[in-house]
Amino acid sequence: MLTAHALRGIFSVIPSPVDDDDRIDEHAARKLIRYLLGQGVDGFLALGGTGEYGGLSQRERVRMIETTASEAAGRVPVIAGVLDAGYHDAIESGKELAAAGADALLVLTPYYTNPTQAGIRDYFLRYADAAPLPIMIYEIPYRTRVAIDPVVLHELSKHENIIGMKACNTDMWHFLQTVAGVDASFSVLSGEDSLFPMHVAAGARGGMLVTAAYLPTAWQRIWRLADERKIDDALALHRTLIPLMQLMFAECNPGPLKTVLDVLGIDSTRVLAPLVNSAPDLTARLREELVRQLDIFETAR
């Protein structure tokens, strides 16, 4: 069983390549996973927001995890996102994704119903008790409109089947309070490309990062520097990626990210409804910047 000890380093958040029928393009997915394995990533997160969980049918979600787990072949952990709004759909999806080969489940804070903190606490405790795999908490309040009180996270972190979280809360004070009180058996991973070195300096053990689908080498260097407390060097390197991050998140993720997958030689750039591919001008600027960054970091390897 996966433990918090394995939740360390750079986990690439991967998009879900699809064909014209909105079915997983297995060839393209395997090509992307092989590229990232060759770059030395520490794990994968599939079916998060970047993986368009909400745009895929459940059958295609299962196929994406089957494909990812098959290609990873146990070399690195595969975390499967579970982004349903209600408990019963979420637990059934988690069971199917576990059977498909996932090593852990990243469970999103319940949304739309605007639960109280007591409701959030009970939801995750109930899910952890019933889940077939270890779970991680996915907190992303700018999408769910619900933040988890750090005190609640401290309590949840003590549950033996809750091994970590992906922290996408841009409030640094909230992050500092969270990291200060979680159990030693619980791994906090940054989910914010823009704040990653600061999150590591504050106690994150790594990150689940969107742009690590393109530049894992760059993020690994930033991670090592920050983990070694060479924070000035980590921040200096992080600043060089700001132009790319500004473009990659100029429209709702994963629109821009998927639109330029062809830069990696992956001809599967279709985005699922209700999202669309990024605007032509943004795409051109993003492609130019991405090629420039790839040249820099490939040369530096």
Q: Where are the domains of the chain?
A: 4-228
Q: Which of 31, 53, 123, 166 is catalytic?
A: 166
Is 166 a residue of the active site? yes
Is 95 a residue of the active site? no
- Residue 109 tokens, joined: 């804070």
Q: Which of 138, 142, 214, 230 is catalytic?
A: 138
Give the Cα separation of 14 and 47 in Å (integer): 8
Predicted confidence (pLDDT) per residue in 255-271, tens digit: 999 999 999 999 999 99
Q: What is the pTM of this model?
A: 0.97
Predicted confidence (pLDDT) per residue in 263-299, tens digit: 999 999 999 999 999 999 999 999 999 999 999 987 6
| Sequence-ordered list of residues with C-beta below 8 angstroms from that of 187, at least 6 positions apart, any chain | 4, 5, 7, 8, 163, 164, 165, 205, 206
pLDDT for res 299: 62
Predicted confidence (pLDDT) per residue in 161-182, tens digit: 999 999 999 999 999 999 999 9
pLDDT for res 298: 73
pLDDT for res 297: 86
What CATH architecture does domain 4-228 belong to?
Alpha-Beta Barrel (3.20)
pLDDT band at residue 101, thresholds of 50, 70 and 90? very high
